[in-house]
Amino acid sequence: MGVMSTALAAVDLDDMPHDFRLAMRNLAAGVSIVTTGEGRGRAGLTATSVNSLSIDPPCLLVCIGRASGTLAALQKNRSFGVSVLDAGQQAIAERFAGNGGQHGAARFNGFDWTTGVTGAPLAEGALSAFDCTLETLVEWHSHAIVVGRVRSVHTNEGAAPLTYWRGGYGSFDPQAG
Ligand SMILES: Cc1cc2nc3c(=O)[nH]c(=O)nc-3n(C[C@H](O)[C@H](O)[C@H](O)COP(=O)(O)O)c2cc1C
Protein backbone atom coordinates (compact mmCIF):
# COMPACT_ATOMS: atom_id res chain seq x y z
CA MET A 1 0.00 0.00 0.00
CA GLY A 2 1.49 3.35 -1.01
CA VAL A 3 2.13 6.15 1.39
CA MET A 4 -0.13 9.01 0.37
CA SER A 5 1.49 11.69 2.42
CA THR A 6 4.60 11.94 4.53
CA ALA A 7 2.32 12.72 7.46
CA LEU A 8 0.47 9.39 7.10
CA ALA A 9 2.05 6.16 8.31
CA ALA A 10 1.67 3.16 5.96
CA VAL A 11 0.20 0.02 7.48
CA ASP A 12 1.64 -3.48 7.51
CA LEU A 13 -0.11 -5.59 4.84
CA ASP A 14 0.42 -8.74 6.91
CA ASP A 15 -1.87 -7.43 9.57
CA MET A 16 -4.41 -5.67 7.40
CA PRO A 17 -7.60 -6.40 9.41
CA HIS A 18 -6.01 -5.02 12.55
CA ASP A 19 -4.61 -1.97 10.82
CA PHE A 20 -7.85 -1.44 8.90
CA ARG A 21 -9.79 -1.37 12.17
CA LEU A 22 -7.22 0.99 13.65
CA ALA A 23 -7.43 3.38 10.70
CA MET A 24 -11.24 3.21 10.70
CA ARG A 25 -11.26 4.42 14.29
CA ASN A 26 -10.53 7.88 12.83
CA LEU A 27 -13.83 7.93 10.94
CA ALA A 28 -16.22 9.82 13.20
CA ALA A 29 -19.79 8.56 12.93
CA GLY A 30 -23.26 9.04 14.27
CA VAL A 31 -24.55 6.16 16.36
CA SER A 32 -27.77 4.27 15.58
CA ILE A 33 -29.46 1.13 16.73
CA VAL A 34 -30.96 -1.37 14.33
CA THR A 35 -33.92 -3.25 15.79
CA THR A 36 -36.33 -5.93 14.66
CA GLY A 37 -39.09 -8.24 15.86
CA GLU A 38 -41.85 -8.17 18.43
CA GLY A 39 -42.12 -9.04 22.13
CA ARG A 40 -39.74 -11.76 23.23
CA GLY A 41 -38.52 -12.16 19.66
CA ARG A 42 -36.99 -8.70 19.53
CA ALA A 43 -33.33 -8.21 18.68
CA GLY A 44 -31.13 -5.23 18.01
CA LEU A 45 -27.60 -3.97 17.77
CA THR A 46 -25.67 -0.71 17.83
CA ALA A 47 -24.36 0.35 14.41
CA THR A 48 -22.31 3.17 12.96
CA SER A 49 -22.43 1.75 9.42
CA VAL A 50 -25.80 3.32 8.59
CA ASN A 51 -25.98 5.36 5.40
CA SER A 52 -28.51 6.91 3.11
CA LEU A 53 -28.56 4.91 -0.16
CA SER A 54 -31.23 6.37 -2.44
CA ILE A 55 -33.72 9.18 -2.14
CA ASP A 56 -36.44 8.12 -4.59
CA PRO A 57 -37.48 5.64 -3.43
CA PRO A 58 -35.97 6.23 0.02
CA CYS A 59 -33.56 3.44 0.93
CA LEU A 60 -30.83 3.14 3.50
CA LEU A 61 -28.12 0.61 4.12
CA VAL A 62 -26.43 -0.83 7.14
CA CYS A 63 -23.52 -3.29 7.27
CA ILE A 64 -23.94 -6.05 9.84
CA GLY A 65 -21.53 -8.81 10.87
CA ARG A 66 -22.67 -12.22 9.61
CA ALA A 67 -22.53 -13.72 13.11
CA SER A 68 -25.00 -11.13 14.44
CA GLY A 69 -28.16 -12.47 16.06
CA THR A 70 -29.95 -9.33 14.91
CA LEU A 71 -29.06 -10.09 11.29
CA ALA A 72 -30.67 -13.54 11.53
CA ALA A 73 -33.81 -12.09 13.14
CA LEU A 74 -34.04 -9.31 10.59
CA GLN A 75 -33.81 -11.79 7.71
CA LYS A 76 -36.66 -13.77 9.22
CA ASN A 77 -38.85 -10.73 9.95
CA ARG A 78 -38.11 -8.93 6.67
CA SER A 79 -38.40 -5.60 8.50
CA PHE A 80 -36.28 -3.48 10.84
CA GLY A 81 -36.04 -0.05 12.42
CA VAL A 82 -33.07 2.32 12.51
CA SER A 83 -33.07 4.81 15.39
CA VAL A 84 -30.50 7.59 15.20
CA LEU A 85 -29.48 8.20 18.78
CA ASP A 86 -29.53 11.48 20.62
CA ALA A 87 -26.47 12.50 22.67
CA GLY A 88 -28.43 11.58 25.80
CA GLN A 89 -28.91 7.96 24.67
CA GLN A 90 -25.42 6.57 25.21
CA ALA A 91 -26.82 3.95 27.61
CA ILE A 92 -28.92 2.53 24.75
CA ALA A 93 -25.85 2.39 22.51
CA GLU A 94 -23.86 0.54 25.15
CA ARG A 95 -26.67 -1.91 25.86
CA PHE A 96 -27.21 -2.71 22.16
CA ALA A 97 -23.49 -3.16 21.62
CA GLY A 98 -23.80 -6.01 24.12
CA ASN A 99 -21.66 -4.37 26.78
CA GLY A 100 -24.01 -5.39 29.59
CA GLY A 101 -23.99 -9.01 28.44
CA GLN A 102 -27.64 -8.96 27.35
CA HIS A 103 -28.81 -10.51 24.11
CA GLY A 104 -32.03 -10.38 22.12
CA ALA A 105 -35.14 -8.98 23.79
CA ALA A 106 -33.34 -8.37 27.13
CA ARG A 107 -31.55 -5.41 25.55
CA PHE A 108 -34.88 -3.56 25.27
CA ASN A 109 -35.66 -3.54 29.02
CA GLY A 110 -35.70 -0.14 30.70
CA PHE A 111 -35.99 1.97 27.55
CA ASP A 112 -39.11 3.33 25.84
CA TRP A 113 -40.24 1.97 22.48
CA THR A 114 -42.79 2.65 19.83
CA THR A 115 -43.80 0.29 17.02
CA GLY A 116 -43.45 1.28 13.38
CA VAL A 117 -45.92 0.40 10.63
CA THR A 118 -43.73 -2.59 9.69
CA GLY A 119 -43.91 -3.87 13.28
CA ALA A 120 -40.29 -2.94 13.97
CA PRO A 121 -39.46 -1.39 17.36
CA LEU A 122 -38.19 2.21 17.29
CA ALA A 123 -36.48 4.00 20.18
CA GLU A 124 -38.47 6.82 21.78
CA GLY A 125 -36.41 10.01 21.97
CA ALA A 126 -34.22 9.14 18.96
CA LEU A 127 -33.34 12.08 16.70
CA SER A 128 -34.73 10.20 13.71
CA ALA A 129 -36.23 6.78 13.29
CA PHE A 130 -36.62 4.92 10.00
CA ASP A 131 -39.08 2.08 9.71
CA CYS A 132 -37.96 -0.25 6.91
CA THR A 133 -38.80 -3.39 5.05
CA LEU A 134 -35.87 -5.52 4.00
CA GLU A 135 -35.29 -4.97 0.29
CA THR A 136 -31.96 -6.68 -0.37
CA LEU A 137 -29.25 -8.35 1.63
CA VAL A 138 -25.84 -8.95 0.10
CA GLU A 139 -23.34 -11.08 1.97
CA TRP A 140 -19.94 -9.52 1.67
CA HIS A 141 -17.09 -11.44 3.28
CA SER A 142 -17.44 -11.04 7.07
CA HIS A 143 -20.50 -8.79 6.82
CA ALA A 144 -23.83 -8.36 5.06
CA ILE A 145 -24.97 -5.19 3.34
CA VAL A 146 -28.58 -4.77 4.38
CA VAL A 147 -30.75 -2.50 2.24
CA GLY A 148 -33.95 -1.20 3.77
CA ARG A 149 -36.82 0.42 1.93
CA VAL A 150 -38.03 3.20 4.21
CA ARG A 151 -41.77 2.93 4.90
CA SER A 152 -42.12 5.63 7.53
CA VAL A 153 -39.94 8.28 9.12
CA HIS A 154 -40.08 9.87 12.56
CA THR A 155 -38.08 12.90 13.66
CA ASN A 156 -37.51 14.72 16.93
CA GLU A 157 -36.10 18.12 17.74
CA GLY A 158 -33.23 16.87 19.90
CA ALA A 159 -30.20 18.98 20.69
CA ALA A 160 -27.25 16.94 19.43
CA PRO A 161 -26.42 13.52 18.02
CA LEU A 162 -24.52 10.75 19.77
CA THR A 163 -21.20 10.26 17.97
CA TYR A 164 -18.43 7.68 18.10
CA TRP A 165 -14.76 8.31 17.39
CA ARG A 166 -11.61 6.38 18.28
CA GLY A 167 -13.51 4.00 20.50
CA GLY A 168 -15.26 6.67 22.55
CA TYR A 169 -18.66 8.33 22.59
CA GLY A 170 -19.08 12.04 22.13
CA SER A 171 -21.42 14.58 20.67
CA PHE A 172 -21.26 16.82 17.64
CA ASP A 173 -20.79 20.47 18.42
CA PRO A 174 -21.32 22.60 15.30
CA GLN A 175 -18.89 25.46 14.83
CA ALA A 176 -20.48 28.84 15.09
CA GLY A 177 -20.96 30.03 11.51
C1 LIG B 1 -20.27 2.37 18.37
C2 LIG B 1 -20.47 0.98 17.84
C3 LIG B 1 -20.79 0.78 16.50
C4 LIG B 1 -21.01 -0.49 15.99
N5 LIG B 1 -21.33 -0.62 14.67
C6 LIG B 1 -21.58 -1.86 14.16
C7 LIG B 1 -21.97 -2.01 12.80
O8 LIG B 1 -22.09 -1.04 12.05
N9 LIG B 1 -22.21 -3.27 12.35
C10 LIG B 1 -22.08 -4.37 13.15
O11 LIG B 1 -22.32 -5.50 12.70
N12 LIG B 1 -21.73 -4.26 14.47
C13 LIG B 1 -21.48 -3.03 14.98
N14 LIG B 1 -21.14 -2.89 16.30
C15 LIG B 1 -21.05 -4.10 17.14
C16 LIG B 1 -22.43 -4.63 17.55
O17 LIG B 1 -23.26 -3.60 18.10
C18 LIG B 1 -22.29 -5.76 18.60
O19 LIG B 1 -21.41 -6.75 18.11
C20 LIG B 1 -23.61 -6.36 19.01
O21 LIG B 1 -23.45 -7.03 20.26
C22 LIG B 1 -24.18 -7.39 18.01
O23 LIG B 1 -25.38 -7.89 18.57
P24 LIG B 1 -26.17 -9.15 18.01
O25 LIG B 1 -25.17 -10.26 17.74
O26 LIG B 1 -27.14 -9.50 19.10
O27 LIG B 1 -26.86 -8.73 16.76
C28 LIG B 1 -20.90 -1.62 16.84
C29 LIG B 1 -20.57 -1.43 18.19
C30 LIG B 1 -20.37 -0.15 18.69
C31 LIG B 1 -20.03 0.04 20.14
| pLDDT tens track, the chain, 177 positions | 433 445 776 666 678 889 999 999 999 999 999 999 999 999 999 999 999 999 999 999 999 999 999 999 999 999 999 999 999 999 999 999 999 999 999 999 999 999 999 999 999 999 999 999 999 999 999 999 999 999 999 999 888 999 999 999 999 988 876
**Mutate which of 46, 60, 77, 145 for ligand 1 pocket (most atoms within 8 A of beta carbon):** 46
Walk me through the domains of the chain, giving residue ranges and CATH numbers: 29-161 (2.30.110.10)
Kindly report the pTM of this predicted structure.
0.94
Q: Is the CB of 92 under 6 A from ligand 1?
A: no
- How many angstroms separate the CA atoms of 120 and 94, rounded? 20
Contact 61, 148 (CB under 8 A): yes
Beta-bridge partner residues of 131:
81, 152
Helical (H) or strand (E) element with 94: helix 90-96
**What are 116-131's pLDDT values in tens digits?**
999 999 999 999 999 9
The dihedrals phi and psi of 104, each to the nearest 5 degrees, come to: 55, -135
- How many angstroms separate the CA atoms of 101 and 99, rounded? 5
